[in-house]
């Protein structure tokens, strides 16, 4: 079928489903609203995607497991495992709720809408409950092989727990760095104090990576061989390393050329290691740079930031990590691929191309 005709047909189906979405009040309603948001994300319409995610979250509010959780909170009463677990229906409802909750929060934070600000309290790190563990059917006798759907259920559960723990670590380190900044009014003193903490922060990140079960491990594995869960966790880990070094990297970028000598040798070294995180991001994302998915827009923004950071660092005369030029070319290729669909990327691509040409010529 002709691609243009196929796109027109898909849009017609989407419009038809959209017109009937709010006529129901069951899990299908919430699922369709959520998937509508996913569709809008894949065609780079984030505002509309957020609206669907928010509506999906609203459609989940009458789910029995949320009602029970609310009653438990208000009454401070305990519920037995049997009372809190409805079996497969409960699991499916929690899955769509978690997906809508996470997608709405991430997109809201990215869009920075005036009437929907993001609180940085712990309540926004993850939904107010943990996912239901895999059912007793997964407790198999020795040597037995679980069914594919049972394996998927276990992997999804482990992935969600891993993501929760990493979000908590990310939030804690961010809070500690901000507290450290407020403690030292002098920028130089703050940078030295932060340099002292880097090894501890890195150790915590590595400890998280080491704690992952083999099913999700991102250590000693190639990004090209990642499945979806591994790829997401690997990219989240790269984001954490960017956070750890971000303040130092930005401080180094604020000092032009020969002024770099005013920074301590250790600060300059930490700045270089911060640049390594940006090289790693572009390398880790390489298998999916041209892949359309729910998080493509976030990936484009992160990788563009990394490419521009590396180019700015080179212009400032910072010590560059190995492979940085190749990494920037990967980012440029990504922008060239998606620019026809996302108008603002045309300007980003031009900036990266011009800066890269100057850097290579230099």
pLDDT at 207 over 90: yes
> How far is CA 193 from each of CA 178, 241, 257, rounded to the nearest angstrom?
12, 17, 24
Q: ∠ CA(18), CA(301), CA(15), 5° rounding?
A: 10
| Structure tokens given for 289 | 């740079």
Residue 227: the pLDDT is: 84
Residue 79: the pLDDT is: 46
Strands (E), the chain: none
SS3 at position 220: coil
Between 259 and 201, where is the model more confident? 201
* DSSP-derived secondary structure for 184-218: -SSHHHHHHHHHHHHHHHHHHHHHHHHHS-TTT--
pLDDT at 22 over 70: no
pLDDT at 55 over 90: yes
Q: If you average pLDDT over each of 82-86, 166-170, 214-218, 320-324, which comes out highest?
A: 320-324
CA distance 286 to 277: 14
Across the chain, mean pLDDT equals 84
Q: pLDDT (tens digit, 9 = 90+) per residue, 83-136?
A: 444 445 667 788 888 889 989 988 998 898 887 876 654 445 566 565 555 554
CA distance 20 to 320: 55
**What burial letters (b/e) apply to 155-182, b meaning 16+ CB within 10 Å?**
bbbbbbbbbbebbebbbebeeebeebee
Q: pLDDT (tens digit, 9 = 90+) per residue, 225-284?
A: 778 888 899 999 999 999 999 999 999 999 876 667 788 899 999 999 999 999 999 999
pTM of the model: 0.83
> How far is CA 350 from each of CA 149, 253, 332, 340, rounded to the nearest angstrom?
46, 21, 9, 13
Length of the chain: 362
CA distance 289 to 345: 14
Q: If you average pLDDT over each of 10-24, 56-70, 167-181, which comes out highest?
A: 167-181
Residue 131: the pLDDT is: 59
* Count of other CB atoms within 10 angstroms of residue 288: 19
**What burial letters (b/e) apply to 92-104, b meaning 16+ CB within 10 Å?**
ebbbbbbbbbbbb
How many Cα atoms are found within 13 Å in the side-chain-facing hemisphere of 314?
Answer: 23
Spatial neighbors of 12 by CB under 8 A, at least 6 apart, are: none
Percent of the chain with pLDDT over 90: 49
> How far is CA 357 from each of CA 66, 130, 308, 313, 361, rounded to the nearest angstrom?
55, 50, 13, 15, 6
User: pLDDT band at 82, cuts 50/70/90?
Assistant: very low
Residue 86: the pLDDT is: 45
């Amino acid at each position: 079928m002709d691609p243009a005709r196929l796109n027109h047909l898909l849009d017609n189906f989407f419009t038809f489903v959209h017109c009937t979405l709010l006529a129901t009040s069951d899990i299908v309603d919430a699922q369709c609203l959520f998937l509508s948001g996913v569709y809008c994300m894949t065609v780079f319409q984030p505002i509309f995607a957020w609206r669907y995610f928010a509506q999906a979250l609203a459609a989940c509010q009458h789910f029995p497991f949320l009602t029970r959780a609310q009653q438990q909170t208000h009454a401070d009463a305990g519920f037995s495992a049997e009372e809190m677990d409805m079996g497969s229906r409960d699991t499916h409802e929690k899955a769509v709720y978690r997906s809508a909750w996470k997608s709405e929060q991430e997109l809201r934070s990215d869009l920075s809408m005036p009437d929907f600000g993001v609180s940085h309290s712990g309540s926004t790190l993850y939904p107010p409950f943990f996912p239901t563990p895999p059912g007793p059917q997964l407790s198999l006798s020795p040597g037995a092989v679980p069914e594919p759907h049972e394996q998927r259920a276990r992997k999804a559960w482990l992935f969600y727990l891993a993501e929760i723990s990493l979000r908590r670590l990310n939030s804690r380190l961010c809070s500690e760095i901000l507290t450290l900044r407020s403690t030292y009014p002098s920028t130089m003193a703050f940078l030295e104090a932060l340099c002292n903490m880097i090894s501890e922060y890195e150790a915590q990140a590595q400890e998280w990576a080491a704690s992952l079960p083999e099913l999700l491990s991102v250590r000693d594995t190639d990004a090209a061989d990642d499945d979806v869960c591994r790829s997401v966790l690997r990219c989240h880990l790269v984001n954490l390393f960017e956070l750890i070094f971000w303040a130092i990297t930005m401080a180094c970028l604020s000092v032009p050329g020969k002024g770099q000598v005013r920074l301590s040798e250790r600060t300059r070294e930490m700045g270089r290691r911060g640049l390594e995180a940006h090289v790693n991001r572009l390398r880790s994302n390489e298998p999916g740079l041209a892949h359309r998915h729910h998080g493509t827009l976030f990936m484009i923004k992160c990788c563009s930031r990394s490419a521009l950071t590396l180019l700015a660092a080179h212009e400032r005369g910072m010590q560059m990590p190995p492979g940085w030029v190749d990494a920037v070319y990967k980012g440029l290729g990504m922008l060239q691929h998606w620019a026809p669909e996302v108008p603002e990327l045309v300007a980003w691509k031009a900036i990266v191309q011009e800066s890269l040409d100057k850097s290579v010529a230099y």
